[in-house]
């Protein structure tokens, strides 16, 4: 049947990708999360146990009907239902006759005779089921065949959002009850869900997750309302013009820009599947770079695959002129959760993003409270699995920035950013528009400065750095960067993580965190490096600097933690460009703390270490 985004043409490519990764015929379970018309499930039904899902009931029924078609015998019914239904001319003046043909309404979805036949077919199938003359597989097979038959005589342009004003020649043909197109082969196990995938993803046991989300703003519930009514057989209240059933229950956030991005990250992050395949169109809301960024975050480095497939999609008069359409096919093998790291959407100087695997590997296995004493961009603390996390940064502006990702709904946050970009005309290297936004932010009283506006301005500043003057005015010059798809992915994944964890936000001197440090606490300290002081901590920007005296205070704080049997880790630099931190060496020589050399980063001439007080 005609269906927006159906995968009949690229289903063989999907099977080939599964074969390339050694996943065929291994007794595995595949979840077809947006099954649609079941092209993929039907092709793979003899290779996998299937979990079939779609938010529309008719899609799951249609898909199951295709999958089970090869094993339906109708032994209890005792005759061929197709031959029987086509052997007579019976009609019924039911819901379709009254509402979707020009009889009691003016709607021209079907010729009156065909509408009456559809009502007769539907009523007969339901009677057979009620009398237990057909089982559930046979019921789905017959309903799928009815959907297929209906689509061949509908007076529409391919979807059911509206009918044509003149009778199409195809609509004038007498309806024939025909078997749904499917591979007539035995199938393995199949289990159906009729839910929004984001609501059930963490409950589905499967080895492979196949994602084929909607690409654009098309709401499938609106476009295919008639088929939903046909399957549900519930005689719903309908709209006066199109005759649509209430569409609110069928509306999907997957057809909304940005909400789709958020849901994609959520589903990929939460699935139990070890393998993920995703098909997506070049015409869709999500870009190739965004999808790749999400999948690379959760997938192993060596498994990521992206194939570009050109094919002729279903077209209508609006899209027929477009060219260059193609599909992407993505594949990843998921990392264990312990190996997935979230990175801050702030480009924070001294970020430990590259060092996360090293740092996490050298931390205690069990931490009840993780205290990120110099939180900064929060790249380390956010990745802790502690029961409780304390984020602290003496720079209250940075603290408010990080906390803003928690207190604001992610969708609203991104929409706010987009509004500011449009309002000021922000673009990379455009100093005029950048300065207008920066000056507006700085002109506001400090208590009224929105962290979201600051974040937007930061995205278009030099190297996306955070820099203020002594009056707390943001003074970074314009840069060559912008709010792009990779930044969007960081914001969405980070926001999801920061909302899901038990985090307390503080902006105090680290030495004043004593009330937050409890038995079972672990204190991570990533202070400014005295040998590599940056613009944000040089003591000239309205905040305390970092000098020998500040360093000495930290040493004393660490000794107090050790005396109280509180485990700690300090990220620090012993040497940088020929300079040596002699005070640090002296302090280490007088204590029994363990020093672990960090891997050298190519092109960066500093000797980084972590200092811990545990084995």
Domain positions in the chain are: 11-333, 353-612
SS3 446: helix
SS3 277: strand
pLDDT value, residue 42: 97
pLDDT value, residue 324: 62
pLDDT value, residue 539: 53
Stretch 421-437: mean pLDDT: 98
Tell me: pLDDT of 311 over 80: no
Can you name the residues that pair with 51 across neighbouring β-strands? Answer: 31, 191
Tell me: pLDDT of 587 over 90: yes
Residue 613 and residue 16: Cα distance in Å, rounded? 53
The rounded percent of the chain whose pLDDT value lies above 90 is 86
Can you name the residues that pair with 281 across neighbouring β-strands? Answer: 327
pLDDT value, residue 317: 40
The owner of tokens 């990392």 is 335
Stretch 106-122: mean pLDDT: 98
pLDDT value, residue 316: 42
Stretch 332-338: mean pLDDT: 96
Q: How confident is the model at residue 315 (pLDDT cuts 50, 70, 90)?
A: very low
Residue 55 and residue 271: Cα distance in Å, rounded? 17
Q: How confident is the model at residue 321 (pLDDT cuts 50, 70, 90)?
A: very low
| Range with the poorest average pLDDT among 106-110, 469-473, 554-558, 570-574 | 469-473
What 8-state DSSP symbol labels residue 585?
Answer: H
Q: At 122, list the tokens.
A: 């539907």
- The domain made up of 11-333 is a member of CATH 3.40.50.300: no
Identical fold for domains 11-333 and 353-612, yes or no, is yes
The pLDDT tens digits for 536-579 are 445 554 456 788 999 999 999 999 999 999 999 999 999 877 78
Stretch 527-535: mean pLDDT: 73
Q: Which listed CATH number (3.40.190.10, 3.30.700.30, 3.40.50.150, 3.40.640.10) goes with 353-612?
A: 3.40.50.150
Tell me: pLDDT of 313 over 50: no
- Nearest partner of 185 among 9, 33, 80, 48, judged by Cα: 48
The owner of tokens 């924070």 is 348
Mean pLDDT of all residues belonging to the chain: 93
The owner of tokens 């390339």 is 20
Q: At 40, list the tokens.
A: 């993929």
**What is the four-CA torsion angle of 490, 492, 498, 500, rounded to 10 degrees?**
-140
Which element (helix H / strand E) includes 85?
helix 81-86
Stretch 202-223: mean pLDDT: 94
pLDDT value, residue 349: 81
SS3 275: strand
The pLDDT tens digits for 279-292 are 999 989 999 999 99
- Cα-based distances in Å from 230 to 75, 96, 131: 25, 8, 20
Stretch 464-492: mean pLDDT: 94
Q: At 442, list the tokens.
A: 């700085």
Q: How confident is the model at residue 320 (pLDDT cuts 50, 70, 90)?
A: very low
What 8-state DSSP symbol labels residue 373?
Answer: T
Tell me: pLDDT of 608 over 70: yes
The pLDDT tens digits for 17-63 are 999 999 999 999 999 999 999 999 999 999 999 999 999 999 999 99
What is the b/e burial string over 313-341, where b = at least 16 CB atoms within 10 angstroms of the residue's CB?
A: beeeeeeeeeeeeebbbbbbbbbeeeeeb
Give the strand pairing for 567-576 and 579-580. Answer: antiparallel
């Amino acid at each position: 049947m005609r269906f927006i985004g159906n995968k009949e043409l690229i289903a063989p490519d999907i099977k080939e990708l599964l074969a390339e990764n050694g996943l065929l015929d291994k007794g595995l379970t595949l979840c077809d999360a947006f099954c649609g018309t079941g092209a993929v499930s039907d092709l793979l039904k003899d290779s996998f146990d299937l979990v079939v899902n779609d938010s529309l009931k008719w899609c799951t029924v249609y898909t199951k009907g295709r999958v089970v078609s090869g094993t339906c015998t109708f032994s209890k019914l005792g005759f061929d239902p197709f031959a029987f239904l086509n052997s007579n001319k019976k009609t019924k003046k039911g819901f379709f006759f009254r509402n979707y043909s020009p009889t009691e309404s003016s709607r021209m979805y079907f010729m009156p005779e065909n509408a009456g036949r559809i009502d007769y077919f539907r009523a007969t199938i339901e009677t057979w089921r009620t009398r237990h003359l057909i089982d559930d597989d046979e019921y789905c097979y017959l309903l799928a065949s009815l959907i297929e038959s209906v689509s061949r005589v509908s007076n529409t342009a391919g979807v059911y959002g509206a009918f044509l004003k003149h009778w199409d020649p195809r609509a004038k043909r007498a309806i024939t009850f025909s078997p749904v197109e499917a591979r007539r082969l035995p199938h393995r196990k199949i289990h159906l869900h009729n839910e929004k995938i984001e609501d059930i993803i963490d409950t589905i046991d499967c080895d492979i997750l196949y994602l084929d989300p909607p690409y654009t703003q098309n709401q499938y519930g609106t476009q295919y309302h008639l088929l939903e009514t046909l399957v549900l057989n519930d005689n719903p209240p309908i709209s006066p013009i199109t005759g649509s059933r209430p569409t609110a229950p069928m509306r999907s956030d997957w057809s909304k820009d940005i909400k789709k991005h958020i849901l994609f990250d959520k589903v990929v992050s939460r699935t139990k599947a070890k393998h993920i395949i995703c098909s997506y169109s070049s015409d869709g809301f999500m870009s190739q770079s965004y999808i790749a960024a999400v999948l690379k975050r959760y997938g192993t480095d060596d498994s990521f695959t992206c194939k570009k497939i050109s094919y002729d999609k279903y077209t209508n008069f609006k899209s027929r002129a477009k060219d260059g359409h193609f599909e992407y096919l993505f594949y990843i093998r998921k990392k264990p959760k312990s190996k997935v790291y979230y990175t801050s959407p702030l480009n924070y100087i001294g970020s430990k993003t590259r060092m996360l695997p090293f740092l996490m590997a050298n931390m205690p296995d069990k931490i009840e409270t993780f205290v990120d004493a110099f939180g900064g961009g929060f790249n380390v603390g956010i990745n802790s699995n502690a029961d409780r996390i304390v984020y602290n940064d003496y720079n209250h502006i940075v603290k408010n920035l990080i906390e803003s990702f928690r207190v604001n709904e992610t969708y609203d946050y991104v929409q706010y950013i987009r509004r500011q970009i449009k309002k000021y005309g922000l673009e990379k290297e455009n100093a005029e528009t950048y300065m207008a936004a920066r000056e507006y932010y700085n002109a506001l009283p400090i208590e009224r400065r929105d962290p979201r506006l600051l974040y937007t301005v930061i995205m278009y500043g030099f190297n996306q750095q955070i820099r203020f003057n002594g009056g707390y005015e943001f003074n970074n010059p314009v840069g060559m960067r912008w709010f792009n798809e990779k930044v969007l992915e960081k914001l969405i994944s980070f926001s999801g993580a920061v909302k899901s964890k038990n985090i307390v936000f503080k902006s105090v001197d680290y030495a004043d965190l004593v009330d937050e440090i409890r038995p079972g606490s672990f204190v991570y300290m990533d202070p400014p490096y005295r040998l590599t002081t940056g613009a944000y901590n040089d003591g000239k920007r309205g905040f305390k600097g970092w000098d020998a005296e500040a360093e000495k205070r930290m040493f004393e704080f660490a000794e107090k933690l050790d005396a109280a049997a509180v485990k700690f880790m300090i990220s620090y630099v012993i040497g940088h460009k020929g300079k040596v931190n002699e005070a640090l060496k002296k302090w280490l020589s007088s204590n029994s703390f363990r020093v672990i050399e960090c891997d050298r980063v190519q092109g960066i001439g500093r000797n980084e270490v972590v200092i811990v007080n545990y084995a």
